[in-house]
Amino acid sequence: MSERNLLMIPGPIEFEPSVLRALGEKTRSHLDPVFMKAYGRAIKRLREVFLAPTAQPFVVAGSGTLAMEMAVANLVQPGDKALVVNSGYFSDRIGTMLERHGAAVTHARADVGSVPSAAEVDTVLATGGFKLMTITHVDTSTAVLAPVKELAAVAKKHGVLVVVDGVCSVGGEALEMDAWGIDVAFTASQKALGCPPGLAILLASPKALATSKARTRPVAAMYLDFAEWLPIHEAYEAERPSYFATPPVNLIMALDVSLGHLVDEGMGARIERHAKLANSVRAAWQALGLRPLPMDTAVSANTLSALYYPPGVDAALVKAVAAEGVVIAGGLHPALKPKYFRVGHMGAVSRADLVTTVSAIERALRACGHPVEAGRGVAALG
Ligand code: PMP
C-alpha cells in the first residue's frame, strides 16, 4: 500500500508534520538544556490540557496500559475495594489489573453501547468501603462516552478516589480534572494529544500523591512508583538535571510541540472543534444508513465512531476502505467484534479528512455490494 494513505483509526492518528520533525531531530542528551526546557514546558502544558493546575504530571516511556498500571500500582494495596464503572473492553482491562494488584473489584455494568448511570453507581457506592472508582471516559471498543463529571461527583460524595482512563478522550472531549474532583487521569501520546505512540501520561491530584505516600508497603514495581518519578519531574520542571530512567528524548521533544498546538488552539476551542466534526460525521453515517453502536448521542464519543456493518456487509469493508486509501479499524469488543467497525476522528483531524473518509466508505460499501448513492454521506457532512 502507498505510504500516502490516511490513518483514521482511533489511535495512532495522523500527526502534524511539525511534531514528526521534532521526533526526527538529532537525539540530545537527556541533560541537554534544550531538552530540559522542553520536558519542563511539556509538564506545565499538561496541567493546561487537563485543566489541572494543582496536579502533578508524570510522563514516562510506555503506552496507555502502562499509565493505567501506574495509577493502579500507586493507589491500590491488597484488600482495597475498587469499583469499575464498566463501559467495555478497556474497563475490563483496568478491572483485571486491579485484581492482579490485589483489589477486591466490583463492576457496575451496562449493556454494550451504554454506561452505568450516576444513580446506579451511587447505589453501589452506598454499600460502603470503596477506596477508588475507575471510569473509562471514552471506551475505544464501543465509542461510548461516560458522564465523568456526574460520576465523579457521586464518588466524591462517598469519599472515593476517582481514576479516569482518558486515553481516548484527553484533548478531544471536555475533561476538567481539578473542577470535577478527579484524583488520577491518564492518557497516552498517540491519540488526541497528537504525538506518536510511546508515552504514558498521568496526572495525579495532591490527594492521589498523598494516598500513594501513605502506603503501608512500597509500590512493588519500581518503574511505576510515583515516589521515584516525582523528584525527576520536579527537577525537569525547574530545568535542573536529574536521572532515574532514561527518558525517551525525541518523543518528549515531539510531545512538547504537539502540546504547544493544543495550548495555542485553546482547550475550549479544541473540544468544540471535535464536537462539530463529530456532529457532521454522525450526520454522514445516518445518511448512509450506518447504525452507531452507542445507544444514543448523549453517550456518543466525539473522538471516534463505532458503526455496525449494514446487512450483508462484513469486515471485508475495512479492507475495501483501505483499497480507497483510508485506514480504519475493525471491531474490538469481544461480544460484537465481527459486527462493527471504527473510525477515529481526533487530534489534527480536519474536515477534508472526513470528506475523504466518508467518500472512501461510500465507495467501499458499493464495492461490498451494498448500494449507497454516490455523494450522499459527503453531502450530509455539511
Ligand atoms: N484505555 C483506552 C480507553 C484505550 O483506548 C487504550 C488504547 N486503545 C488503552 C487504554 C490502552 O492504551 P495503549 O494501547 O496505548 O496501551
Pocket lining: 90 vs ligand 1, CB cutoff 6 Å: yes
**Residue among 168, 193, 195, 201 whose CB has most ligand 1 atoms within 8 A, to mutate:** 168
Residue 115 — pLDDT band, cuts 50, 70, 90? very high
Domain boundaries along the sequence of the chain:
6-12+267-381, 17-265
**Got the DSSP string for 62-86?**
S-HHHHHHHHHHHH--TT-EEEEEE
**313: phi then psi, degrees, rounded to nearest 5:** -115, 145
What is the fold of 17-265?
Aspartate Aminotransferase; domain 2 (3.40.640)
Residue nearest to atom 13 of ligand 1 (CA): 64
C-alpha cell at 35: 531538552
Question: How much is the mean pLDDT over the chain?
Answer: 97
Distance (Å, rounded) from C-alpha 292 to C-alpha 306?
Answer: 6
Pocket lining: 167 vs ligand 1, CB cutoff 6 Å: yes
12 preceded by a cis bond (ω within 30 of 0): yes
140 Cα nearest atom in ligand 1 = 5
CATH class of segment(s) 6-12+267-381: alpha beta
The crossing angle, in degrees rounded to 10, of helices 64-75 and 89-100 is: 40
Q: DSSP assignment, residue 342?
A: E
Pocket lining: 202 vs ligand 1, CB cutoff 6 Å: no
Comparing 6-12+267-381 with 17-265, is the CATH topology the same?
no
What pLDDT does 2 receive? Answer: 65
C-alpha cell at 101: 494488584
Residue 55 pLDDT exceeds 60:
yes
What whole-number percentage of the chain has pLDDT above 70?
Answer: 99
Residue 249 pLDDT exceeds 70:
yes
Pocket lining: 201 vs ligand 1, CB cutoff 6 Å: no
Distance (Å, rounded) from C-alpha 358 to C-alpha 282?
Answer: 11
pLDDT in tens, 258-285: 999 999 999 999 999 999 999 999 999 9
